[in-house]
Amino acid sequence: MNAEIQFGFTPIQLLLSVLLLVIAVASLRLFRNRLLYRLFFVAIVLTGILFVTVPELPYYIANRLGVGRGVDLVFYLLFTGFLLLIAVLYRRLLQHDVIITQIIRQNAIKNHNSPNTYSKAKEHAKRL
């Protein structure tokens, strides 16, 4: 029996692979100064391209891990990744809140003119 190995892309595999490559290039440019982020995104994109080109691979890995289908495994990984992303973004938001508060305080102290500033503002508000 002469088995021929055919390597070719279906249209959807080609489309998804190109889109993933565009995302990889964009992430490399976006995280120009962050090596860890760049490596992380490249690893995700390469995994995505591998899963797109060899659709049986997620199914095989899922069965080894005790998950019923490859799609379920990918969903679980994406869900976990999104939760991690939300936690990281929330932490960053809190850090930015602290930085903004410090900047506003420094600006208020720097621009403080006199102890009568409150009364001057109150008088100005009455005139309006």
Q: What pLDDT digit, counting tens, does each position of 45-89 carry?
A: 888 888 888 888 888 889 898 888 888 888 898 899 899 989 989
Model pLDDT, residue 13:
85
Model pLDDT, residue 1:
45
What the block records as the tokens of 120 is: 């001057």
Model pLDDT, residue 3:
47
Nearest to 42 by CA among 19, 18, 21: 21
**3-class SS shares of the chain: helix, strand, coil, % to 5:** 80, 0, 20
Geometric angle at alpha carbon 90, from 85 and 91, rounded to 5°: 100
27 CB contacts (<8 Å, ≥6 apart)? 37, 38, 41, 42, 45
| Predicted structure pTM score | 0.61
